[in-house]
Amino acid sequence: METVDLMDNLPSLQFEQGVGEEDIPWLFLQSRSRGLMIQACAHAAFFCKLLQALRKTDGRTSISMLPSEEEEEEDLYKKPSKKNLKVGIIGGGRLGKQLALVLLHRASIPAQSLHISTRRPETLSDLQKMGIQCFYHNCFLVDWANIVFLCCLPSQLPHICLEISARLDKSCIVYSLVTAVPLPRLKHLLCHTNILRPQYQCAETYIDIWGSNEDIESALQDPEIVQGTSPYNTDGGITLNIKWLEAVFYAALNTCTLREIPYQQALEILSDLCLSVHPKTCGEDKTNCPRFIVTEFVNQAFAKTLNPSNVFPWFDLITVQLKETPFSQHLGKSVCLQEHLTVLYSASFGISLSQEEEEREGGEEEKEAPGPESQIFQLLGDSSD
């Protein structure tokens, strides 16, 4: 017999009921904080799906990033193959937990390819039951992982970096969700350049699309929320610095370099993987759709020195995120490429833009949330680890 929680969703027990009238204008910060966490988890999942697909390619043809029926039926708790991306998370607080669930269910990272290092692994029993290894050994995690997510507080970061910096392999990607610590500081602390750090900007007023009670993994099944996290979308009042997207592609090319895939093959694979989903503007004739070429990533002088058997050079991801590159200029100018990447992003979560548009047209109009003229949004790091 199904049990019913009589106190579930009682208005008198909601968070808002305990807020004084003078503090009501600040309630929007709760939604904004949730929106930042959803954005962070969604972008991390997209990045991991891309790297996972590149690792599984045979060097000639790519594996699709798009969800399939086979993927949905796949047992995510079975023993992973050697080609699986190994993902480590440092920090087992709220962000670390939610990120693990999103990577497991929305990025199809098998449980045994996910490890979490936290000072309180005993609090993650639910994740451990799923097959995710949880322990407190940051160096072991870094030795094992292909990508390490930093989900700690800024105050904890210097100690963690001191502990792991000597153990970081050149190929290991550090993905920082500690938003208060800039890239130059991370480079100094880690003595490492293979680092990604998404940067978010919040608008003073915005439409609240982020919901309130669902977990992040469930929220990313909502077409409106998925589209709101798209790199070129400003719905929800949170904007992603597009340099992150640029760094994602240079990190993808580094993955091909590690596998010694010749640069032309790498570009073909990346084009098949990322540009095979088309926006409506393409129509039936796909001959004019974009394909990646070498001079979009390196300058013409260097491109002329490459032989067919050469691989791309190793790209410094910090430099990519701090300075202009050939891909910066191309990405900024090509509206067609932006449209293709927007469609790809939504499709990687199983959402088509037409589906999202239908949902939006059928829904009620959202009201703009009130907010002071200037606000400081909270960082994404966890206080519980």
Q: What is the pLDDT of residues 67-121, one digit of tens each?
A: 764 544 445 555 556 778 999 999 999 999 999 999 999 999 999 999 999 999 9
Compute the Cα dihedral for 122, 125, 129, 130 and give only its sign. Answer: negative
Question: Are 42 and 220 spatial neighbours (Cβ–Cβ below 8 Å)?
Answer: yes
Helix ranges, the chain (H): 28-56, 69-73, 94-105, 125-129, 138-144, 157-164, 183-190, 216-219, 223-228, 243-258, 263-274, 300-303, 317-322, 326-333, 335-348, 353-362
Summarised one tens digit per residue, pLDDT across range 268-321 is: 999 999 998 888 888 777 778 899 999 999 999 999 999 999 999 999 999 999
What does each C-alpha distance from 109 to 48, 86, 105, 131, 168 come to in angstroms?
A: 8, 8, 7, 12, 22
Provide the pLDDT for residue 72.
Answer: 46
The SS3 call for residue 117 is: strand
Higher pLDDT, residue 352 or 361:
352
DSSP symbols for 43-81: HHHHHHHHHHHHHH--SSSPPP-S--HHHHHS-TTSPPP
Provide the pLDDT for residue 315.
Answer: 98
Summarised one tens digit per residue, pLDDT across range 23-64 is: 444 455 667 889 999 999 999 999 999 999 998 886 555 567
pLDDT, mean over the chain: 84
Question: Are 74 and 50 spatial neighbours (Cβ–Cβ below 8 Å)?
Answer: no
Average pLDDT over residues 238-258: 96
pLDDT band at 209 (very low <50, low <70, confident <90, very high): confident
- Backbone phi, psi, residue 114, to 5°: -120, 125
Q: What distance in Å separates the CA atoms of residue 75 and residue 78, rounded to the nearest whole number?
A: 6
- Please list, in sequence order, all residues whose beta carbon lies within 8 angstroms of the beta carbon of residue 354, skipping any fewer than 6 positions away: 280
Residue 365 has pLDDT above 60, yes or no: no
Average pLDDT over residues 201-223: 85
Question: Are 92 and 120 spatial neighbours (Cβ–Cβ below 8 Å)?
Answer: yes
Question: Are 353 and 346 spatial neighbours (Cβ–Cβ below 8 Å)?
Answer: yes
Q: What distance in Å separates the CA atoms of residue 168 and residue 4, rounded to the nearest whole number?
A: 50
pTM of this prediction? 0.84
Question: Are 145 and 89 spatial neighbours (Cβ–Cβ below 8 Å)?
Answer: no
User: How many Å from the N-terminal Cα to the C-terminal Cα in the chain?
Assistant: 38
| Residue keyed to tokens 């979490």 | 116
pLDDT band at 9 (very low <50, low <70, confident <90, very high): low
When the candidates are 1.10.287.130, 1.10.940.10, 3.40.50.720, 3.60.15.10, the CATH number that belongs to 26-219+236-242 is 3.40.50.720
Q: Determine the length of the chain.
A: 385
Give the start-to-end residue ranges of the domains of the chain. 26-219+236-242, 247-362
Provide the pLDDT for residue 277.
Answer: 87
